[in-house]
Structure 1
Amino acid sequence: MSAADLPDPTQVEGAPHPRDTARLIGQTRAEADFLEAFNTGRLHHGWMLTGPRGVGKATLAWRIARFLLTRPTPGSAGLFGAPPAPHSLDTDPDHPVVRRIHAGSEPGVFLLKRGPNDKETALSADIRIDEVRKLKSFLHLSSAEGGRRVVIVDAADEMNIQAANALLKLLEEPPGGVTFLLIAHQPARLLPTIRSRCRELRLATLGPQDMAAALAQAGAAAEDPAALAALSGGSVGEAIRLTNLDGLRSYAALVALYARLPQMDRIAALSLAESVAGKANEARFDLMLGLSDLFLARLARTGVAGPPTPEAAPGEAAVMARLSPDPAAALKWAALHQSLGARARHGRAVNLDPAALVMDMVLEITAAASG
C-alpha cells in the first residue's frame, strides 16, 4: 500500500471533505468573532478552533482559508480604494482560488495532518516532525510569492511532542502574511505555550434543527434528527457515523433489551453479543461499546435531572425513569458507568473476545438493576 492509498484522517467516512463543504451550519457566533477581528484590523496570526469532535471546526477552517485567500492583501487597495468590509465569510464558488482549493492544488494553503507510518502500511498514530518539516519547506518556498498564506493543522492535539515544539517555534516567530488555524478537539492536550499564542474560536454542539440541515448538506439525511442529535452529542461527524452504522436502530434495540430489567431476555442478549463477534464486525463492536456507555450516562443523569428529552429511542424515558428514579440510583449508575467504561477500554486494548465483553456488560447492568 502506498501513502496515496491511505484514508484521509481529516475526512469523516461517508461525508464530503471539509474543504468541499460550502456552508457552515450552527456556528454563526464563531464566524462573527473571526469576521469582527478581520474587519477591525485585529487579525491574529494564530487561531485555535475548539469544540467537540465533528461540530464543524475543519469546515470553518477551510471556510476561513477560502475567505482570506480571496480577499485583497493589505496595501493593495487599487484604483478604487479599499473594498467594503465583508459581512460574511462567503466566497464566490467560481473564484480561481476557491476552485483550486476544491481541487487540492491551491499553493497558498497547507494542510498539516497525520501522514503514513514508517512502513507506509497505515496512518501514523500522531502528527510527526517530518510533517512539520514539510510545512517549513512550504513556508520557505511560498514566501517569495508574497500574499496571504494559510496553514490548517488538523488536528493540533494529534501532534507528538517533537512536532508540537517545532510548530511552537513558528507560532513564536510567525512568517509574514501567514495565518495558522489549529483544530483542537482536546485543547488541554496541547502545550500551554501553543495555546497562549492563539486566539480561541469556540464552536458549539448542534441542536436538532441545525443537525437536520447539516446532515442534509452532507447527503446523510436522518429520519429522526432530534434523536440523532441526542445520541451524537450534537456532533455532525458522529451523527454521520451513527447513520452509516444504523446507530439509531442499534440503540433502540439496546433500550428494548433493558426495558425488562431486572429480568433479562437471554436470547436477545446472546443475539446482541454475537452481532459484534469477528473481525468483520469491528465497527459494530465499537458502536455497541459507545452506545452502552451512552445508555449508562443518560441513565445516571435521569436520577438527578429527570428522563432525557428528547428520547433517543422509543420508550427510553419510561425505562430510565423506572431504573433511575432518584439521586441514590443515579449515583449507583454513575459508578457502574465509570467501571464498565474502564473495563471496556481495557478489553479493547488487550483484544478480549468482543462477544464475551458485550455479554459481560449486559450481565453487570442486569445485576445492578436487580439491586
Structure 2
Amino acid sequence: MRGIAFPRPLLYQWAMAGDPEIPESDRLGDLPHPRSRGELFGHGDAEARFVDAFRGGHLAHAWVLAGPRGIGKATLAYRMARFMLRQPHAAAGQGLDMAPGDPVFQRVASLGHPDLLVLRRPWDPERKRPKAVIPVEEVRRAGGFFAKSAGEGGWRVCVVDSVDDLNANGFNALLKAVEEPPDKSLFVIVCHAPGNLPATIRSRCRVMNLRPPADDVADRLVAEHFPDLPHGDRRALVRLASGSPGQALSLAMAGGLDLYRAMVGLIAELPRLDVPALHGFADTAVRRGDDGFRVTMELLAGWLARLVRETAAETPGQDDFAPGETEAMRRLAGRGSLDRWIELWEKVNRALAEAEALNLDRKQVVLNAFSGLQTAAQS
C-alpha cells in the first residue's frame, strides 16, 4: 500500500512540532508554545486595530509586530493567523479570541493547517541545536506557498518568527515575497529590534509597536510556573526583565537571579577580578546550556546599559537587585568615560550574537567580557 505524499513544508513543520527530541527555536523551554496559547494580556489595542482594519476593508497585507522579546508578539501573531484562517466562517462579532477546541486552533497549534507557513530557525542535526539564522532557502518557501491556491479556499498566512534571525540574503528573499503579495495573503512578522529592520521591508508593512504589559502580568505568570519562588525574587525578576513576561520566565528557568547576584558580586570588586570566582561563575552559566549562557550575557549587557544611562544622567538609579550594586555602579561610573562604557556594551552584545552564529566557546566569551570590564574599570 502506497503512503500519502505530503509536501515537504508540511512534513517539515509536523516534524518540528511533533518530535519532542527536536527543540523548537521559538519556544521557551517546556512552556506552552505561543501558537498553543489561548489568552493574551496587555495588547487589546493592537488586536482592535487589526480587527478594525480587516472589517473596514483596509487590511495591510503585511504586519510587523515590533517590541522587546517576551512581551507576547508571537502569541499575538498566532491569534491573528487563526482569525484569518477562520475566515469567512468567523462569527460577525468575533475578535481574535478562539476556543482551544476549535479545529482551526488545533491545526494551527499542531502546524497542520495547509494554509499556514511558519518561517523560523530550523534544527541543525549536526550541531544538535537550532541554526543561528533562518536560511534563505526557508524564506524562499514563501514564494511557492503563496503561488498555490489556498487549500481551504480562504486566506493564506505566513508567520515569520523572527525577522531578526534573517541575514542579508534572507531579507532580500522576504522583500521579494512581501512586495508581490497575491490576493488573500497575509504576512505577520515578529520583530525584536525594529531599528535593524531594512527600510525596504518596513515601508511595505504596517508596523505595530508593542510595549510590555503591566508588571503584574509578568509577576502572575512567573508565580504560576514557579509557585515556590518568593514574592521578592519574583518582583526582582520582573524588574530585571523590564516587565517582559517571556523574559522574566526565561530568567526564572535559567536561575537568572542567582546568576545576576553572582555577576554583581564580581563587578563590585572591580578593578580587582577574583579569577577563581569568575571561572566558577562562567562554568555555572555554561552548564545551564545555551539558555544559561544567553541569559548571562543579556544580564551583563543590561547592567552595562543601565550603567550607561546612569553615567549620562550623573545619578545612580533606585533599583538594587543585589547587595552593593548601587555603590558599584556609582564607583564605576566615575572611573570609565561614557564612551568607554558604550563601547563595552556594544562589544558584549556583539559577542553574544557572534557566539551563537559561530558556535564559539561559551566560557571564553564570558571570560572575555569580564576582561573588558576590568580594563574599562582600570581607566
TM-score bin (small chain): 0.7 to 0.9
Identify the range of structure 1 (333-342 vs 148-157) with the bigger mean alpha-carbon deviation.
333-342
Question: 1:197–1:313: structure 2 CA closer, same or farther, 3 Å change rule?
Answer: same
State the 1:123 CA deviation: 4.0
Which residue in 1 is equivalent to 2:102? Answer: 95
Which residue in 1 is equivalent to 2:116? Answer: 109
Q: Larger C-alpha radius of gyration, 1 or 2?
A: 1
State the 1:21 CA deviation: 1.4
**AA aligned opposite 2:76:** L
Which residue in 1 is equivalent to 2:239? Answer: 230
Deviations 1:186-238 (A, max 9, x none): 34544433221111111113442222234456x35654343223323443333
Which residue in 2 is equivalent to 1:131? Answer: 138
Cα distance in 2, alignment partners of residues 363 and 246 from structure 1: 23
Which residue in 1 is equivalent to 2:249? Answer: 240
Question: 1:112–1:287: structure 2 CA closer, same or farther, 3 Å change rule?
Answer: closer
Matched positions, count? 357
Q: What is the aligned counterpart of 1:316 among 316, 321, 325?
A: 325
Which residue in 1 is equivalent to 2:179? Answer: 172
Question: 1:51–1:71: structure 2 CA closer, same or farther, 3 Å change rule?
Answer: same
Equivalent runs, 1:1-371 vs 2, <5 Å: 6-72=22-88, 84-86=92-94, 88-116=95-123, 123-143=130-150, 145-216=152-223, 219-220=225-226, 223=230, 224-261=233-270, 268-269=277-278, 271-275=280-284, 284-305=292-313, 306-324=315-333, 333-338=341-346, 351=360, 354=363, 358=366, 361-362=369-370, 365-366=373-374, 368-369=376-377
**AA aligned opposite 1:290:** E
Cα distance in 2, alignment partners of residues 344 and 116 from structure 1: 20
The CA RMSD measured in Å over matched residues stands at 3.8
Identify the range of structure 1 (111-120 vs 152-161) with the bigger mean alpha-carbon deviation.
111-120
Cα distance in 1, alignment partners of residues 274 and 332 from structure 2: 16
- Return 5+ residue gaps in structure 1 as ranges: 77-82
Cα distance in 2, alignment partners of residues 364 and 165 from structure 1: 36
Percent identity (aligned): 34
Q: SS at the partner of 1:143?
A: coil
Contact preservation (8 Å) 2:158, 2:188: yes
Contact preservation (8 Å) 2:77, 2:159: yes
- Return 5+ residue gaps in structure 2 as ranges: 1-14
Question: 1:350–1:148: structure 2 CA closer, same or farther, 3 Å change rule?
Answer: closer
Contact preservation (8 Å) 2:254, 2:288: no
Q: TM-score, normalised by structure 2?
A: 0.76
**AA aligned opposite 1:321:** R
**AA aligned opposite 2:73:** K
Question: 1:333–1:220: structure 2 CA closer, same or farther, 3 Å change rule?
Answer: same
